[in-house]
Amino acid sequence: MPPADDPPADSLRVLCVEDNPVNLQLVRELIALRPAVRLRTAEDGLSGVAAAQAEPPELVLLDIQLPDIDGLEVMRRLRSAPRTAGCRIVALSADAMPERIRAALSAGFDDYWTKPIQFDAFLRHLDHLISARAAGQALR
């Protein structure tokens, strides 16, 4: 059984909102390498918002280009709801143009990770968040 399917009770709760099945599978496989992370997924913006409201994650990995509402709108909805306002929200996007990254961060994203996903950077970011959480630090 992959570690991500049976994590410890005090796991870092992560929600990945991604409509591309290949990218989603890659995230699943990378997170399976980290037993301290519990992953949930959603394939479009509205189901991502609903999943986050039902069980607020500590970290949201959010694709910008979704089939129903875009990632910016998802982020705005999560930030405006009391249950999810404090989530760390990271944009996942293939658009690596510096002005797009600046705009996303200015709009309210906590970080911006580019696709294709760089395995070492992805895991390094996750490890940092796991360590910060274990030390009792806020993830925002």
Q: What pTM value is reported for the model?
A: 0.91
| DSSP E strand boundaries for 1-123 | 12-17, 37-42, 59-63, 88-93, 111-114
Q: Percent of the chain scored above 70 by pLDDT?
A: 93
Judged against a pLDDT cut of 70, whether residue 5 lies above it is answered with no
- Cα 81 from chain centroid (whole Å): 17
Other CB atoms within a 10 A radius of the CB of residue 128 amount to 11
Judged against a pLDDT cut of 70, whether residue 1 lies above it is answered with no
d(CA 59, CA 134): 14
pLDDT of residue 8: 64
How far, CA to CA in Å, does 102 sit from each of 92, 118, 121, 138? 14, 20, 19, 23
Domain ranges in the chain are 3-134
Q: Per the CATH hierarchy, to which homologous superfamily does domain 3-134 belong? A: Response regulator (3.40.50.2300)
Q: Render pLDDT for 51-104 as a digit per residue (tens, 0 to 9).
A: 999 999 999 999 999 999 999 999 999 999 999 999 999 999 999 999 999 999
Q: Render pLDDT for 95-104 as a digit per residue (tens, 0 to 9).
A: 999 999 999 9
